[in-house]
Amino acid sequence: MPKSRVHNLTISLDGYAVGPNQRLEAPFGDGVDDLHAWMFAAMSDRAEGRTGIDVDHLDRSEQNIGATVMGRNMFGPQRGSWEDESWTGWWGPNPPYHHDVFVLTHHLRPSVPMEGGTTFHFTDEPIETVLHRAFEAASGQDVRIGGGPATVQQYLRAGLIHELHLAIVPILAGGGERLLDNLGDGIHGYRVADQVSSAAATHVRLLRR
């Protein structure tokens, strides 16, 4: 049965997934410059043919994924109504997804087809409906729930995430948006399936019981 999965969601020691004041010049906010250093290093290692714990988790995040759901804040820095529709994401003309991506937003715009098979769809439907559409688009593969943390929190509260991979890195953010706040009973149905550490991050994989 296809599953919904979260991968490479990185948090600081004090639990923050993003810092304050997210903007174009600082997509993850202030005070978290090294939050994703482990991931960038793993990308470099993989490109050079090196392996390791971080590379393994990076590879796993791309296996058997047929569609992605993300929040508006992950797609771009704009808030509110679209001033124009020239922004097509952080990733250039050929985003790394290569499948349908559903962007949760209160401000709709036409779908944006990109090079390499990625198409961004903008929707204000209930998260359950969006996930159903994503599973249909994935054609039997799994669906990745991308960031930001608010999007992941919504799906956790609704009990709709089967697998959650956290990368915990040794920095203190001191402010921003904490992933595990405001979940109610949303985290109670999970167990720690495995935990392993590299020099750069501790990887924890949670599975829904």
What does the domain layout of the chain look like in residue ranges?
4-78+94-208
Q: Could you give the angle at which helices 149-157 and 127-138 cross, rounded to 10 degrees? A: 100
Whether 182 has a pLDDT exceeding 90, the answer reads: no
Amino acid letter, residue 107: H
pLDDT (average), residues 158-182 = 95
CB 6 within 8 A of CB 164: yes
pLDDT at 77 over 90: no
CATH hierarchy code of domain 4-78+94-208 = 3.40.430.10
Does 157 score more than 90 pLDDT? Answer: yes
pLDDT at 193 > cutoff 90: yes
Question: Quick one: average pLDDT of 143-162?
Answer: 95
pLDDT at 78 over 90: no
Confidence of residue 26 (pLDDT cuts 50, 70, 90): confident
Contact 19, 30 (CB under 8 A): yes
Is it the case that residue 200 has pLDDT exceeding 90?
yes
- Work out the average pLDDT over 32-60: 97
**What average pLDDT is seen over the chain?**
95
Which contiguous run of DSSP H or E holds residue 132? Answer: helix 127-138
Give the pLDDT of residue 141.
98
pLDDT at 189: 85
pLDDT tier, 25 (very low <50, low <70, confident <90, very high otherwise): confident
Q: Is the preceding peptide bond at 148 cis, omega within 30 degrees of 0?
A: yes
Query: Is the pLDDT at 121 greater than 90, yes or no?
Result: yes
Residue type at 118? Answer: T
